[in-house]
Amino acid sequence: MAKIQAIRGTKDILPEELQYWQFIHNKISNLLECANYQEIRTPIFESSDLYDRGIGRDTDIVNKEMYRFHDRSNRDITLRPEGTAGIVRAFIENKMNYHHSLQRLWYSGPMFRYERPQSGRQRQFHQLGIEFLGSLDARADSEVIHLAISIFNNLNLKDLKLDLNSIGKAEDRSIYQAKLQEYLKQYYDDLDPDSQKRLISNPIRILDSKNINTQKILAEAPKISNFLSISSQRHFDAVCNYLKLLDIPYNINDKLVRGLDYYNDTAFEIKTLTSKGQDTVCGGGRYDSLVKQLGGVATPAVGCAIGLERLLLLAKENIELPSKYVDFYIATQGKKANEVGMKIMRFLHQKLFTIEIDVSSSNFGKQIKQANKKRAVACIIIGNQEVEQGTVTIKWMSNQQQEDMSIMQFEHSTSYLKKKILFYKNLKSY
């Protein structure tokens, strides 16, 4: 029989690895709560229309990367390739602007894209994103960028670079697009095949090409910055000004255009200078027309998404996880003792001690070895003798001291036990 394996491009996150995920998740969520951002969770599958209309049919994501299928009722469904479109749908559907015209939201969860798997690129991957809906002010853009940067700083990530650009409004872009097309047509034969295709469908995306020859041709190409309207130019200047004020270094990259159609004005990416593979850890920008485009009341917005796999690849080496231990390891021998052990287990669990009960029925020597392996602060031993006397033996593992207590006394000693556990934990840095 064929072996059943995880689907190509997906990964199990095993318990040991998950500790790192939880560590960064807690850090980031604390940081975002402090900035008064609220978490939102939307479904991982949506009607395909949402992405056709939201992200745009001429983008790589919609064209080539979507997990799109028909369900049993023949609905056209897509596993979400990104978070923003779903959040905007939820924003409209739940009339979130009704109570608060400003919404500061964040999300985190799996996204799905059919891409060639490699280091830092999977088919199921995770993004954490920030969305600030309801403001046209350049302070909103700067706040989102500041938060993304502060997330990286908080995880001690250095050697990052913020690339910034303004891609103007749709009208500015269509004039620019024509100029760019005109320029690139002269070099059609020298462009890489992907760029040749894009020359008709989405010429601005050619700016993003990694092909060296194409890049050479692009060096002399018209620049979007010369086609910005006055209001876009002002907005961009204001964002730059706030970033300077916040001591956030940035690099203006006039080739930065981003792969989704819904962006306007501010576009940015945060890249690592150290990783060899996939170097973009965060991408974002302003999307003032998306809410209206998806049927809501026109609402400006700005946001970004961080790729968590790529973030972890960088952050892991700086993370020192707190060591794992258990407060009490419960060792028992014999039928009656097993029963007493179960009750002790329930009692300690209710009092929120960290515990583990040994279910091996092996001899005490082996069980105590296990207790050491699990870094137990204490072992509770219950054998025939204890059962007869109605007691338990507590063995403090760091100095091997033992004490006997009647079960009755034990169950009235919570604060004593808490203190002792704390004392021994401090004594030996568990």
Residue 282 CB, nearest distance to ligand ATP (Å)? 6
Count Cβ atoms below 10 Å from residue 97 Cβ, excluding itself.
17
296 annotated ligand binder: no
**Interaction between residue 108 and ligand ATP (CB under 6 A):** no
**CA separation for the pair 341, 332 (Å, rounded):** 6
Binders of ligand ATP in range 261-290 (CB under 6 A) = 278, 280-283
Residue 354 CB, nearest distance to ligand ATP (Å)? 34
Residue 278 CB, nearest distance to ligand ATP (Å)? 5
The residue count for binding ligand ATP (CB under 6 A) is 18
Residue with tokens 């760091």: 398
With beta carbons less than 8 A apart as the criterion, state whether 116 and 148 touch.
no
Residue 253 CB, nearest distance to ligand ATP (Å)? 14
Residue 120 CB, nearest distance to ligand ATP (Å)? 6
5 annotated ligand binder: no
Contact map string, positions 291 to 320, toward ligand ATP, x by CB under 6 A: --------------x-x-xx----------
Residue 207 CB, nearest distance to ligand ATP (Å)? 13
**CA separation for the pair 29, 389 (Å, rounded):** 51
**CA separation for the pair 351, 347 (Å, rounded):** 6
Pick the closer one to ligand ATP by CB: 305 or 355.
305
**CA separation for the pair 97, 298 (Å, rounded):** 11
* 424 contacts: CB under 8 Å, gap ≥ 6: 377, 378, 396, 397, 398
β-strand pairing of 76-79 with 103-112: unpaired
**Interaction between residue 122 and ligand ATP (CB under 6 A):** yes
Query: If we measure between CA atoms, which residue out of 302, 303, 263, 291 comes closest to residue 96?
Result: 291
Residue 277 CB, nearest distance to ligand ATP (Å)? 10
Q: Which of 121, 351, 374, 418 binds ligand ATP (CB under 6 A)?
A: 121
Pick the closer one to ligand ATP by CB: 72 or 116.
116
Q: Which of 25, 45, 50, 115 binds ligand ATP (CB under 6 A)?
A: 115
**CA separation for the pair 286, 290 (Å, rounded):** 10
Count Cβ atoms below 10 Å from residue 214 Cβ, excluding itself.
20
277 annotated ligand binder: no
350 annotated ligand binder: no
Binders of ligand ATP in range 331-360 (CB under 6 A) = none
Per DSSP, the residues of 210-272 read --HHHHHHHHTS--GGGG--HHHHHHHHHHHHHHHHTT---EE-TT---S-TT-EEEEEEEEE
**CA separation for the pair 177, 171 (Å, rounded):** 10
272 annotated ligand binder: no
**Interaction between residue 85 and ligand ATP (CB under 6 A):** no
DSSP state letter for 353: -
Binders of ligand ATP in range 355-414 (CB under 6 A) = none
Pick the closer one to ligand ATP by CB: 122 or 332.
122
Residue 204 CB, nearest distance to ligand ATP (Å)? 14
Piece in contact with ligand ATP (CB under 6 A), picked from 17-25, 114-122, 321-329, 335-343:
114-122
Beginning with the edge strand found earlier in the chain, give each strand of the sheet holding 160-166 in spatial order.
38-39, 103-112, 124-133, 301-307, 280-286, 264-272, 160-166, 251-252
Residue with tokens 């990964």: 11
127 annotated ligand binder: yes
Pick the closer one to ligand ATP by CB: 151 or 305.
305
Binding residues for L-histidine: 82-84, 113, 127, 131, 258, 262-263
Residues near ligand ATP (CB under 6 A): 82, 113, 115, 120-122, 125, 127, 259, 278, 280-283, 305, 307, 309-310
